[in-house]
Amino acid sequence: MKYNRLFRIGFGARGMVYMGKSLQTGETVAIKEIALKSDVKAQLEIFREISALRICRHENIVHLIEVLISDHSATLVTEFVESNLRLVIDDIERPSNNELIKNYFVQLFYGLAYLHRNGIMHRDIKPENILINTSNRVKIADFGLACLYFLDQPQRTYCHQVATRWYRAPELLFGAIHYGPAMDIWAAGCILAEFLNGAPLFPGANDIDQIACVFQVLGTPTDNTWPEWEQLPDSGKLVFDSIEPVQDWTTVVDVAQCGDESSECLSLLRSVLRLDPTKRASAEMCLQSDFLSRKLPKSPQSIDYTPPPIETSIKQKASNAHIQFRQQVNSSDHY
């Protein structure tokens, strides 16, 4: 045994993630254990994650330390990153200023630009998968849905049942099987809006409601806004009343915290949250936008903010669950 598991920090349909410690070096690590069994889907996901992380060497991508394979499970050992963007978004004490916003999203788009240059689509960009260490360094993680894409093979097909619903690009909601890295850009735009609002921009209860949430802001597709929409597999399955796009985005996104750069922030958002994936800005273009290319913080470490540690969040949830359980027990004593 090379690593000691300390406590669980996450779990999913395929396995568990633990905070651990190397018995050789004492280094704190993240240990992701996936039971393989005969589950072909689990095997595919772990293969994707291992393949992607072995390719990537970038300061904004989580670092893979090693992979341990047994007959029944696969274990990925990565650097341990103390927090994530979900915890930051939910932190009522985080500062509301451009410095923090720009720091995180410059790094996120740097990471995405690196992935896309190397022909990798992440396909599950969401706040929980954007890790942040105590020095405010962003690390993109969880590559279980990642895949390679090929610009010179436009007819290559991909699964459309990817990405978490609130961050799923419109083309995927309509069943597209030919798509590209613009889907990751859409997700990043949704997260930027959520960071500003403190709540999801498109919180659909199901896939149909998700489409409705998007159309309420961007309007129903037209020949001008999305010429190829009617060619998508599921475009004819639903009929929506004609909706005009929102013109004043300050009614949709709270950019007041951006101060005199509010218009630049809105311009960035509008460049990535477009129905037509061919019209969305690339990660490189986002980095060149007025909002993310000017008045940047000197470094992540220079920001006076420490993200909430994930272990504190987990212990708080466990404590709350215990309190709730005790309340239920005490309540049942009266019967």
Strands (E), the chain: 3-11, 15-22, 28-35, 64-69, 73-79, 83-84, 120-121, 130-132, 138-140, 147-148
Q: 71, 124, 276, 304: which is the annotated catalytic residue?
A: 124
**How many beta carbons lie within 10 A of that of residue 25, not counting itself?**
9
- CB burial string 211-220: b at 16+ within 10 A, e below: bbbbbebbbb
**Packing angle of the helix pair 182-197, 98-117 (nearest 10 deg):** 170
Of 122, 126, 32, 132, the residue nearest 84 (C-alpha): 132
Cα torsion at 39, 41, 46, 49 (round to 10°)? -170
Distance CA 95, CA 93 (A): 6
Active site residue 124: yes
Tell me how far apart the alpha carbons of residues 175 and 168 are, in angstroms, rounded to a whole number: 11
HEC string of 272-283 equals HCCCCHHHCCCH
Return the amino acid letter for 320.
N
**Mind telling me the catalytic residues?**
124
